A and B are shown apart, each in its own frame.
Chain A
Amino acid sequence: MVVIVLALLAGAALTAGPLLWSARRAAHTARAAEQRAADAEQRCAAAERRAADADNRARTATARADDAEDRAHGADTEARAAEAHRTVADARYAAAVRELGHLAHERIPAAATALNHPRTPVPGPLDTTGGTDELHHALDTALTAAVRAVLAERERTDAAARAALRGAASKIQALLIQVRSLLEEIQLSVDDPRLLALDFRNELTLRRVQSLAVLSGAWPGMTREDSPLAELCVGAQSRVAGYARIEITNHLREPRLAVAARAAEPVAIALAEILGNATAYSHPETRVVVSIEQGSAGALVVVDDMGVGMEPDQLERAGDLLDGQAEVLLTELGDPPQAGFAVVGLLCRQFGFGCRVEPSPYGGVRAILRLPADLLTLTDPAAPLSALAPRPITQTTPVFDAGDALPTRKRRSPRVPQQDAPSPLPSPAGSTPDRARSAWSALQSGTLAGRSAAHTSPGPEGPAAPEGVETP
């Protein structure tokens, strides 16, 4: 039994040995496996961590990518916007360049021309619709500055021209007035009618020079005494080329109505210019009708021509010149210079009378010269009126023998009976004593009548004496 037990034990031992080994080995393996498992577990955890980490990083990367994409999109939009802006800016730049070119080549020259010719249209900016207010403002400022510079330069040039003209005109005027005095003297001793023609030419020249002198700011060139208005009108008439066409009618109630000394020559100059316009702008075979009127607050000289008349804008310009409101520049008078209304306007402003023009009922232009009462006076009744001055139409008796001392004035029949009047073709050689007697008696009575008129009229001593020497 023991053996069996031993054998069993041995067998058991024999059996148990490998079992034990194997158990050990299994344990070892188990441990190793455990080790590896732990190891694997660790690695797994590490991998998991890495995976999580990678995941995080991936998410971050995705987010950044998204972000980048967004930014790229934004940048793209911005770039497109910038492109659009640039296009607009380019367009505006091009427009501004065009406007500048337009300003330089069209608007400034037109504005400069418009200073001389008010009817010249001045073009506006090319593009008025765009919202380029700043540009337009700047362009307008440039235009205004250019116009102002042109005006200043023109004023300076004109002042220099006026000064030069003033000197020349005064000198010529003085000489012409001396010529006039000489001619007047010679006319008393020489009967050649060409002297009268020469006198007339001299007077025409003098008028031209006088109007230039007035325009250039000089003194009207002559002092006068109080001068009868009728004589002033005839004097003005005599300074005009077509004076024979001018018909003056005197409607004054008071024939001695005169213009005060200070305004006498200016009124004559102004009226001569008005009459010059009237004759120059009407047909040479039409009349120019002048009427001298005496109103309650002054006197009027109304000049009507039957010419072509004036357009409304010409009338307006003339009105401005006559009011003395418009600035008068030599350079504005045109070529040939049309100085008439400018001269009248200057004189009106300086001496206090007035003038205006309007369409005439005769078809042409009517000019009305108004002389206020403070420029009017009465002349000395002793001073005789010129024989060539028109008498008031209500007054039929001639002024030269207006004294009561003239007995012949009331005489209605000739002193010499009509039958004793000489025949139309008397021949002195074959005259009978009767005829000779009647002729001589007629001559004597005429001489006596004339002399009594000369003695009783308190005029100048010698009726044909020269009327003073005029000095400038």
Chain B
Amino acid sequence: MTTPSGPRRRLVPAYLATQGRELAPGRQTLDRLSILHAAADLPAGLGGEHRQLWELVRPGALTVAEAAAHLRLPVSATIFIAADLAERGALQVRAPIPSAQPVNRDLAERLLSGLRALK
């Protein structure tokens, strides 16, 4: 049993964000680390959750995963909202920032030996 201050039983399921669709619209595929930017004003006719995501992203940029956490929705549902906004041009989606290239092992070894030489 839950206490009043504890987490509540789910009343609003996340799948509502899909609006009954099986797949998110648009050609771009979004994943957890896709970065969302506000690109234009919020188009008319979009509901509360779209506005919330858009306002959340407007100050800068957020990854889908972060936006999902702030909206308290699963990533899969947030992707639908973000895709709706991206399709209407209100959001821009960037591919995830790639992790750094593997370092030059040669260089690293030389650096290491140089550091050791400093001792």
A interface vs B, CB < 8 Å? 180, 184, 187-188, 190-197, 199-200, 203, 222-225, 227, 231-232, 234-235, 237-238, 242-244, 268, 380, 383-384, 386-391, 398, 400-401, 408, 411, 414-416, 421-422, 424, 426, 428, 439-450, 453-454, 459-460, 462-468, 470-471
Contact between chains at A224 and B73 (CB < 8 Å): no
Please name 18 pairs of A and B residues whose Cβ atoms are closer than 8 Å in the assembled complex, sorted by A. A188-B74, A191-B31, A193-B24, A225-B4, A243-B16, A268-B11, A383-B8, A388-B14, A414-B38, A414-B58, A416-B60, A426-B94, A439-B35, A442-B60, A443-B97, A445-B59, A468-B9, A470-B9
Are A386 and B18 also in contact (CB < 8 A) when A421-B39, A467-B7 are?
no
In the bound complex, how far is the Cα of B49 from the Cα of A447, in angstroms? Answer: 19
Choose among B22, B32, B61 the residue that contacts A443 (Cβ–Cβ < 8 A).
B61
In the complex, chain B residues 1-56 whose Cβ is within 8 Å of any chain A Cβ: 1-2, 4-20, 22-24, 31-32, 35, 37-39, 47-49, 51-53, 55-56
**Given A244-B19, A463-B70, 12 more pairs with CB closer than 8 A:** A191-B32, A196-B14, A196-B74, A223-B1, A235-B13, A243-B16, A268-B11, A380-B4, A387-B52, A414-B58, A446-B57, A450-B56
Contact between chains at B22 and A197 (CB < 8 Å): yes
C-beta contact mask, B84-107 vs A, less than 8 Å → 1, else 0? 000000001011011000000000
Contact between chains at B59 and A387 (CB < 8 Å): no
Contact between chains at B6 and A199 (CB < 8 Å): no
Contact between chains at A421 and B37 (CB < 8 Å): yes
Contact between chains at B59 and A449 (CB < 8 Å): yes
Contact between chains at A193 and B94 (CB < 8 Å): no
Q: Give 5 closest A-B pairs by Cβ, nearest first.
A: A446-B60, A445-B60, A196-B15, A244-B20, A386-B12
Are A467 and B59 also in contact (CB < 8 A) when A193-B79, A428-B95, A428-B98 are?
no
Are A225 and B15 also in contact (CB < 8 A) when A383-B8, A422-B37 are?
no
